[in-house]
Structure 1
Amino acid sequence: MANNPDNTETDEDIQHIVRIAETDIEGRSPVVYSLTGLKGVNHRTARILATSAKIDHKKKMGHLSEEEIHHLKDAVARIETVLPAWMLNRRKDFLTGEDRHIYGGDIALVLREDINTMKKTHSYKGSRHEKGLKARGQRTKSTGRRGATVGVSRRKVG
């Protein structure tokens, strides 16, 4: 990379870890691929975030200035306004009814809350979760036999 005449910055100028949305992000890869390190952000979402922050999506994350990182953090913080409604990962929230996009550590928390809500309301999916069975209509006759039994043990001879 240092031999490349097009690259004006060297690897010594790079910031190896960039902190965005309480997540450490790799600084040696391009902005689009680095942003996919956030849970809930895919390549397409990352490219839209970079465009809204007016950052070249091919530029390495570690080469961004403090101002560009601030613009990127701001874009991630207001992700619901940046993305179109059909791209949000939590449309018509069960409790609030609004469209949201969840990213980072909140994804696991919200998923756990949703499963507990299904269990409390005794919905079909909730009862399947309680029993440890598949909840989305998959067949269970021959697959999904994880953790049921250890196996057959043989008696000692002699």
Structure 2
Amino acid sequence: MPRILGVDIPANKKLEYSLRYIYGIGPTRSKTILAETGIDPDMRAKDLNEEQINAIMSKIQDLQFVVEGDLRRELTANMKRLQAINSYRGLRHRRGLPVRGQRTKTNARTRKGKVKTQGSLRK
């Protein structure tokens, strides 16, 4: 199992797909990295040698992609900033509600959590 930027990428998947396991690298960035390093995207991750792994890591740093811990830190800092200035988006984050204008009368279960039925209690 090759390790790139502190992440174990799956060995038996094609390289194009296994690079996506790195937080901050999606389909487009994965293709870009492999095209610029000249590595075959259909190659399996377990077949990489040290030289190719180093080439991938250096290309990610050359292209200045923000990935893994730095990206997570940046996103949490953005959320904390929004919450600190009491913006509408910050309040929605704080309350655990949808942030981008989705309806909440129905749906929104991913953000709101499991249904908590409320009603009057009978004696």
Q: Which amino acid aligns with 1:36?
A: R
Which has the bigger relative contact order, CA under 8 A and spacing at least 6? 2
Deviation at 1:143, TM superposition (A): 3.1
1:52 equivalent in structure 2: 36
What is the distance in 2 between the residues matched to 1:113 and 1:150? 34
Deviation at 1:105, TM superposition (A): 3.0
- Select the residue among 98, 121, 125 that pairs with 2:89: 125
In the superposition, the TM-score normalised over structure 1's length comes to: 0.64
**Residues 62 and 127 of structure 1: is their aligned pair in 2 closer, same or farther, counting only changes over 3 Å?**
same
Give me the identity figure in percent.
Answer: 26
Q: Which amino acid aligns with 1:133?
A: L
Alignment of 1:64-83 (within 5 A): 64-80=48-64
Deviation at 1:150, TM superposition (A): 5.8
1:88 equivalent in structure 2: none
1:114 equivalent in structure 2: 78
1:62 equivalent in structure 2: 46
- Select the residue among 40, 48, 55 that pairs with 2:24: 40
In the superposition, the TM-score normalised over structure 2's length comes to: 0.80
Tell me, yes or no, if the aligned pair for 1:25 and 1:37 is still in contact at 8 Å: yes
Give the number of the structure whose alpha-carbon radius of gyration is greater.
1
CA RMSD of aligned residues (A): 2.5
Tell me, yes or no, if the aligned pair for 1:128 and 1:135 is still in contact at 8 Å: yes
TM-superposition CA deviations, 1:39-78 (whole Å, max 9, x none): 1111221111011112111112221222111111111222
1:83 equivalent in structure 2: none
Gaps of 5+ in 1: 1-16, 81-100
Residue 8 of structure 2 aligns to a residue in which SS? strand
Tell me, yes or no, if the aligned pair for 1:21 and 1:76 is still in contact at 8 Å: no
Tell me, yes or no, if the aligned pair for 1:36 and 1:46 is still in contact at 8 Å: yes
TM-superposition CA deviations, 1:8-30 (whole Å, max 9, x none): xxxxxxxxx11101101122222
Gaps of 5+ in 2: none
Q: Does 1:142 align with 2:109?
A: no
